[in-house]
Homo-oligomer: A and B are copies of this chain.
Amino acid sequence: MTGLQTDLYELRMAASYLRRAMVERATFSLFVRRLPAQRGFLVAAGLAEALAFLEAFAFDDDDLAYLRDVGFDQPTLEAFARLRFTGDVWAVPEGRVVFADEPLLEVTAPIAEAQLVETAVLNLLTFHTTIASKAARCRLAAGGAQLIDFAFRRTQGIEAGAAVARASAIAGFAATSHVEAARRYGLRPSGTMAHSYVEAFPDERAAFRAFAADFPTNPVFLVDTYDTPAGVRAAVDVIAELGLTGPVGVRLDSGDLSALARQTRAILDGAGLTQAQIVASGSLDEDVIAALVADGAPIDAYGVGTRMGVSYDAPSLDSAYKLVSVGERPVLKLSPGKATLPGAKQVFRDPGGNSGDVVGLRDEPPPGDRQPLLVPVMRGGRRLDPADPVGEVRAGRQRFDADLGWLPESARRLADPMPLAATVSAALADLHRRMAEQFAPVSTGGVRSAGR
């Protein structure tokens, strides 16, 4: 099942390598070439999914039968039948802040294996990182208010919905409407009622009464089906009528949210419901939330849907998975605009936040008191940490919380952020220069490996 979750060319290249007994270990480096305009940083995510994919990678009988049908020969099918991912992986842990040109993940494996898993690994890290980075902007906008993932109905597929719940939780969202995702990742499920529920009763009060009777623990009343202030008053009356003394709330889903939130707050406070929460939703994104916060709108929680869930303004990232060494030989690519640096790498971060990251060689000592960002996460095709979806998300969120404190304001700000630029270590620059000189390109660009 996992074996065909790849591009045909990966299978063809792998078949060619296997047939030629090209079993050298290759290292591929996955990084983002440049950030979208409105991103001052990225939040690494998707690693857990990528590692689960690598661990499960195999061709089953149906996969092999299909590959026979499309022309792969018997020796190749036998080689695929035996193939598992046996490589080593270093990666940036989920939740850490990263920038352009910094490896998020490096795979070292026999070249056929490293090639076969390219498509899925690139897909998962790109997608989850895209969403976590967008969700992080919502968090920065919301100040102290809570964020709830409401995206499931318009994510790019059912599984994407679960990924969005997970990635947004890493970025600090407090809850999700997506029940399966809440179960899978130990998130808090959250939900109130829809307009159709209110419409299914003779009037709004009857709907609120029924809902509060059925869900007396923290009911949140959707108050904008007909007229928002009247809806708030209906909720207040029902709360009094049923003698609800626990937490309650109202949700605003349309109109001038700032003005309506103020009106709503006044009605609630006038009725002594000073603890009642106001939840806002409806086409929200970080810019709308920031405007509401700047306007002093008394909103306690934001339900954020589609615009976060597809990362509407930047729904993908310019990511790449590039060969950086074969065997013991570093490889570099000299093509203008698409140059890659040779060798397995490490990213060294200044914990004081006084300067940008340094990208160096994996084996060089950290410069000064800088700390390495990539850690070993898989050896011989097995994860070094046991899989625990709930713990993964919690740890990711803790890492992001810590990195948020470190991130300079220039990269944090929502409008025209300035990402930190990574510099190259002396050792890596030196290797690159020696290789480029040794294999001076004869044309407009080129790729060269040392020692060939």
| Given A7-B191, A123-B161, A226-B445, also A315-B310 (CB < 8 A) | yes
Q: Could you say which residues of chain B place their CB within 8 Å of the CB of A333?
A: 195, 199
Q: Could you say which residues of chain B place their CB within 8 Å of the CB of A196?
A: 13, 26, 28, 115, 322-323
Which of B309, B316, B331, B446 lies in contact with A306, CB distance below 8 A? B316
| Chain B residue with the shortest CB-CB distance to A448 | B199
Contact of A111 with B by CB under 8 A: yes
Contact of A158 with B by CB under 8 A: yes
Q: Could you say which residues of chain B place their CB within 8 Å of the CB of A86?
A: none
Q: Could you say which residues of chain B place their CB within 8 Å of the CB of A189?
A: 8, 70
Which of A147-155, A367-375, A412-420 forms part of the interface with chain B?
A: A147-155
Decide if A157 touches B127 in the complex (CB within 8 Å): yes
Contact of A242 with B by CB under 8 A: no
Q: Could you say which residues of chain B place their CB within 8 Å of the CB of A26?
A: 196, 200
Decide if B191 touches A12 in the complex (CB within 8 Å): yes
Which of B9, B227, B322 lies in contact with A193, CB distance below 8 A? B9
Within 8 A of B (CB), among A102-149: 111, 115, 118-120, 122-124, 126-127, 130-131
Interface centre among A154, A217, A331 (most CB of B within 10 A): A154
- What are the 9 closest A-B residue pairs judged by CB atoms, nearest first? A8-B191, A9-B191, A227-B443, A156-B156, A4-B180, A315-B315, A7-B177, A196-B323, A310-B315
- The 10 listed contacts between A and B (C-beta, < 8 Å) are A5-B158, A7-B177, A9-B177, A20-B210, A70-B182, A118-B194, A119-B178, A123-B155, A199-B449, A226-B446
Given A12-B211, A315-B315, 11 new contacts (CB under 8 A): A1-B180, A7-B177, A7-B178, A9-B194, A70-B182, A122-B153, A124-B157, A127-B154, A156-B157, A156-B316, A157-B159
